[in-house]
A and B are shown apart, each in its own frame.
Chain A
Amino acid sequence: MSQAQLTSKAIAVDWATRLRPQESMRTKVWRRFRKHRLALAGLGVIIAIITLCILVPWAAKYDPGRTHLDLIREPPTLQHIFGTDELGRDLFVRLWDGGRISILIGVATMLIAIGIGTLIGSVAGFYGGRVDNVLMRFTDYMLSIPQLFLLLIFAQLLRSTNNPTLSGGPTPIIVIIGILVWPPIARLVRGQFLALKAKEFVEAARMSGNRDLRIIFRHILPNAASPVIVAATLRVGAAIITESTLSFLGFGVQPPTATWGNMLKNAQAQMTYAPWTAIFPGLAILITVLSLNYIGDGLRDALDPHHVE
């Protein structure tokens, strides 16, 4: 073996040892995330809830939608551990069945809101000037009409079409929540872009002849991802709450499809004599959203580049 070969091998080994202790971004974030005990607990709870939502309706001996008119508003027993509702449906099975739709609505709305918010925020922040001005005035304007009022009007609009595909199901609810809740995300992304677009790496990317779209999506956006990921986590929980409010007011997903929100629709009328119908679906929302909020908090700490260890 020649001298040159030996040297190059030594260099390779040297680099390998030097590189080894350097952890990937993913392991670093995970290591920091684990330190936030409540966030870790939240993650565990969310995984458990999703598992139960998948397994329970599939394995249960009661159909979530089957009514039992001789078992109306049974208090919790061993047979029906969460009791039954006004149509004798088993609340335990129905709760996990409803969780599927509620979580689906949360995640899907988040995707729409992040999509629109990121697009508008990044274009406004990247181009600045008149484009920024127009887009941000539009965002201000979206924020100055009370969201719930608009949601109710949109829901009423869809309902009055009497078209079954446009009202009653989860899809229209996902769309109307999604297209109304993006403004705070747009503001967040715009702020990130304003800070990042003056950085040298953007200049370098421009010098290398990249087109605007490529600079926006390949160079700046990944660097702006951390706060967006945190906002996305919180958005899922917020959307679950919004759905429950709409359904409670009678403008959301219509029965027989169960959601945590529409399970609470009759809760006020019967809470004097059947409080369990009000308590369990609400607790499911509280625990899920609380876990998501703690996960968001943990991610905020873990993804923060200025984090002191």
Chain B
Amino acid sequence: MTNYIIRRVIQAIPLLLVISLTVFVLMNLIPGGPLAAYENNPNISSEDLERLRKELGLDAPIHVRYWKWFTSVATGDWGISEVTRRPALVEITEKLPNTLYLSITAFICALLIAVPIGILSAVRQYSVLDHIATTIAFIGQSMPVFWFGLILIIIFNVNLKNPTTGGPLLPGGGMFTIGAPFSVADRVRHLILPAAVLTFFSLGHHIRYMRAGMLDVLHQDYIRTAHAKGLTSRAVLARHAFKNSILPLVTIIGLEIPGLFAGALITETIFSWPGMGRLFFNSIERGDYAVMMGILMMSATLIVLFGLITDIMYAFLDPRIRFD
């Protein structure tokens, strides 16, 4: 097992190198390059731009610049945000916990809802519950995330009122009420709508894969054997079927992690959630080069890392996967 983990980690390194190279090349393709933010600034003349370019070493050949960039990223120097003049790494790591707080909540909610519904749906195939669950799964996969968010805001923020205060039932943006003292209830109220959007976004896939996995397992011979030796249905499900049926879901979770980042970007933008996704969106709009590159690198690293964790979990759940 340890060997397997070490080998998978080593395999991830070239992937990250190639990703870093892409990020670097892409950013240099944007007209104006790293100085794009200054191009439209009337206070900066073209001579100043030229001087800056020389001073910052931007006139060096691209491989020299890449190496310089790569070594500084590796040592924690991610450059300065053109907008706030603060280190990009600080900007990003400040926002990262907010994104994780939102997406992990949604991720756990989606699993807690999808696993039991998927199982029930498979056990009672073609029942009313199964039809409802399948329909919800299809609808969840057929809407733009942002539109679902807008509809929730129209319902819970614009139309429904809080019976005691007369204000909106749920806040439609932000992470907490600005100016109010810290309270858990306030945080939770702000979390509900964005987390619901992100949850619903992955719920459809999860239900379908859980259902398919369970249906597949339920038709296996060993399940019939377990029933034949007189076990209760509950025991068959819990002891024999569950662990095997969750494998497809684990695979799809690994593949869906990049989608979670996209979902977070959209949700954070709509709900003014101070996370990494919204920061990325803003930095693109403002041409904030250092922050953009940093977030791309950070999210690609996280995706590779989570992919690694899913692979390891998969190997742990399915002993048929060889570790050598």
- A residues within 8 Å of B by Cβ? 137, 140-141, 143-150, 152-153, 156-157, 160-161, 237, 241, 244-245, 248-250, 261, 264, 267-268, 271-272, 275, 278-279, 282, 285-286, 289-290, 292-294, 297
Contacts and interface: CB of A to CB of B under 8 A. Distances in A.
B313 interface: no
Which 10 interchain pairs have the tightest Cβ spacing? A148-B262, A282-B147, A290-B142, A289-B142, A146-B261, A146-B258, A244-B144, A160-B31, A241-B144, A144-B303
Contacts of B150: 264, 267-268, 271, 278, 282
Contacts of B307: 144
B295 to A, nearest CB: 8
Interface centre among A143, A157, A268 (most CB of B within 10 A): A268
B324 to A, nearest CB: 19
Interface string B143-164: 1111100110110001000000
- Summarize A's interface: helix, strand, loop or mixed: helix
Contacts of A148: 261-262, 265-266
Interface string B257-275: 0110110011001100000
Interface string B131-145: 000000011011111
Given A144-B304, A149-B296, A157-B30, A249 B262 contact: no
B33 to A, nearest CB: 11
A248 B146 contact: yes
A244 B36 contact: no
B30 A160 contact: yes
Contact of B138 (A145, A149, A290): A290
Interface stretch (B1-9, B18-26, B227-235, B241-249): B18-26
Given A157-B30, A275-B158, A282-B151, A147 B284 contact: no
A123 B29 CA distance: 30
Given A145-B296, A150-B26, A278-B151, 7 more contacts: A143-B258, A152-B280, A153-B284, A157-B26, A241-B143, A268-B150, A293-B142
9 contacts: A144-B19, A149-B262, A245-B266, A249-B266, A249-B269, A282-B143, A289-B142, A293-B142, A297-B138
B143 A289 contact: yes
A145 B151 contact: no
A48 B154 CA distance: 29
Contacts of A279: 151, 154
B169 interface: no
A146 B30 contact: no
B38 interface: no
Contacts of A261: 144
Interface centre among B31, B147, B280, B295 (most CB of A within 10 A): B147
Interface residues of B, number: 46
A264 B147 contact: yes
B280 A143 contact: no
Nearest to A140: B15
B194 to A, nearest CB: 14
Given A144-B303, A145-B258, A147-B262, A160 B144 contact: no
Nearest to A268: B150
A241 B270 CA distance: 16
B154 A149 contact: no
B167 interface: no
Nearest to A288: B142
A160 B154 contact: no
Interface centre among B18, B144, B292, B295 (most CB of A within 10 A): B144
Interface centre among A144, A292, A293, A294 (most CB of B within 10 A): A144
Interface in B67-82: none
Contact of B158 (A141, A152, A271): A271
B32 interface: yes
B154 A143 contact: no
B280 A290 contact: no
B30 A156 contact: yes
A248 B144 CA distance: 10
Contacts of A150: 26
B294 to A, nearest CB: 12
B255 interface: yes
Given A156-B284, A285-B144, A149 B299 contact: yes
Contact of B154 (A146, A161, A275): A275
Given A152-B281, A275-B154, A293 B141 contact: yes
Given A156-B30, A241-B144, A271-B158, A146 B281 contact: no
B300 interface: yes
Nearest to B208: A297
A149 B147 contact: no
Contacts of A146: 258-259, 261-262, 265, 299-300, 303
